[in-house]
């Protein structure tokens, strides 16, 4: 469902010159699978996910999302994807319902469909009490729930999460983790990035170790542990990247 082929992305940076943020990255991810990009800050995770979700154009290489090439028809790709990141913000002066409706409209959904689907999701995530109050009045956890509803309202087959638990407390992180599992169980193809090893171990069917824009190794968590002879992912990561 997601297929990244030799993705490259160069940025021109004033101080550092040309930065190879993503360097020949290839991988694939099927429906019903959670694929993790595990790497430290600056590894190129966000850039990779932005290319997949068409916010950025690759310098070279391409990705096929649910059969559509991101460089050929980005518009069509966008409607196939739900996108959520840890620092996704909300419109403070809109209510959760208004905000979600706005995005539903942008995704071309019909009025009744938006209404039905958002009610369903508000109930599922236990949001009924604050669905009609302004976003600026909500707690961080509540806000993240609004973002979740926004990202899946149009029921996309592919979900892209960029460090979705960044800056969240334990309870809200749990909501996100449960939500990712829910997406996987309902047959979506999920790609997700993190720098937290334990999160990757807990959630991912397969993990790619990414560093300096390159994928060093890829496989199930067990594969990676076995191949490096370590018993936790953190040590395995150091071993792989240090080689």
Partner 1 sequence: MQLRNIGTIFRKEVKDTIRDRRTMIFAFVMPIMAMPLLMTVIFKIQMGAVQKIEHARSDIVIQNIAELPKDLHDSLMADTSLFQVKTEADYPGKNLLDELKQKAFQLLVIVPNNFTKAIELESPTGIEVYYDRGEELSSAAYGKLDSVMTCYRDRVVESRVVKRQISKDVLRPFDIQGNNVASAQKVAGKLFGGIIPYFLILTCFLGAMSPAIDLGAGEKERGTIETLMVAPATRGEFVLGKYFVIMLTGIMAGLMSLASMTIFFRYMASDPTMKQMAEMLAIQFDMRTLFLILAVVIPVAGIFAAILLSISIFAKSAKEAQGYVGFLNFVLVLPAFAALVPGVELNYQIALIPIVNISLIIKYAIAGTIEWKYVITAFVSLFALAALALYFAKRWFEREEVLFRM
Ligand X SMILES: Nc1ncnc2c1ncn2[C@@H]1O[C@H](COP(=O)(O)OP(=O)(O)O)[C@@H](O)[C@H]1O
CB of 110 to Mg ion, least distance (A): 35
Stretch that binds partner 1, among 72-80, 169-177, 180-188, 200-208 (CB under 8 A): 72-80
Measured from the CB atom, the residue of 41 and 112 that comes closer to Mg ion is 41
- Positions in 7-36 near ligand X (CB under 6 A): 11, 13, 19, 21
Contacts of 61 (CB under 8 A, 6+ apart): 4, 5, 6, 7, 8, 24, 25, 26
Question: Does residue 67 belong to the site contacting partner 1 (CB under 8 A)?
Answer: no
Q: Which of 36, 39, 86, 164 binds ligand X (CB under 6 A)?
A: 39
Residue 78 interacting partner from Mg ion, ligand X, partner 1, none (CB closer than 5 to 8 Å by kind):
partner 1
Which tokens sit at 109?
């959904």
Question: Does residue 47 belong to the site contacting ligand X (CB under 6 A)?
Answer: yes
Question: Does residue 107 belong to the site contacting partner 1 (CB under 8 A)?
Answer: yes
Measured from the CB atom, the residue of 92 and 227 that comes closer to partner 1 is 92
Q: How many residues does the chain have?
A: 243
Measured from the CB atom, the residue of 60 and 91 that comes closer to partner 1 is 91
Contacts of 146 (CB under 8 A, 6+ apart): 90, 96, 99, 100, 127, 135, 138
CB of 55 to partner 1, least distance (A): 4
Residue entry with tokens 């109930």: 123
Compute the distance between CA of residue 178 and CA of residue 5 in angstroms, rounded to an integer.
30
Residues of the shown chain interacting with Mg ion in the complex, contacts defined by CB under 5 A:
46
CB-based contact 175:125 (threshold 8 Å): yes
Gap between the terminal Cα atoms of the chain: 31
CB of 161 to ligand X, least distance (A): 12
Contacts of 242 (CB under 8 A, 6+ apart): none
Binding site for ligand X (CB under 6 A): 11, 13, 19, 21, 39, 41-47
């Amino acid at each position: 469902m997601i297929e990244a082929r030799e993705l490259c992305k160069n940025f021109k940076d004033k101080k550092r010159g040309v930065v190879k943020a993503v360097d020949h990255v290839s991988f694939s991810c099927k429906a019903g699978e959670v694929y993790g990009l595990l790497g430290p800050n600056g590894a190129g995770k966000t850039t990779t996910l932005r290319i997949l979700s068409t916010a950025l154009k690759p310098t070279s290489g391409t990705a096929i999302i649910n059969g559509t090439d991101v460089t050929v028809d980005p518009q069509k790709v966008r409607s196939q994807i739900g996108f959520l990141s840890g620092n996704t913000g909300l419109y403070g002066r809109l209510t959760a319902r208004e905000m979600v409706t706005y995005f539903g409209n942008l995704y071309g959904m019909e009025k009744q469909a938006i209404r039905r689907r958002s009610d369903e999701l508000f109930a599922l995530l236990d949001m009924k009490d604050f669905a009609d109050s302004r976003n600026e009045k909500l707690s961080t956890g509540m806000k993240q729930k609004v973002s979740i509803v926004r990202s899946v309202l149009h029921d996309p087959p592919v979900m892209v999460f960029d460090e979705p638990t960044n800056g969240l407390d334990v309870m809200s992180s749990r909501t996100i983790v449960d939500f990712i599992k829910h997406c996987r169980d309902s047959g979506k193809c999920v790609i997700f990035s993190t720098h937290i090893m334990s999160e990757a171990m807990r959630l991912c069917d397969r993990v790619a170790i990414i560093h300096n824009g390159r994928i060093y190794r890829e496989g199930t968590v067990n594969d990676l542990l076995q191949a490096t002879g370590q018993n936790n992912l953190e040590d395995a990561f150091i071993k792989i990247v240090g080689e």
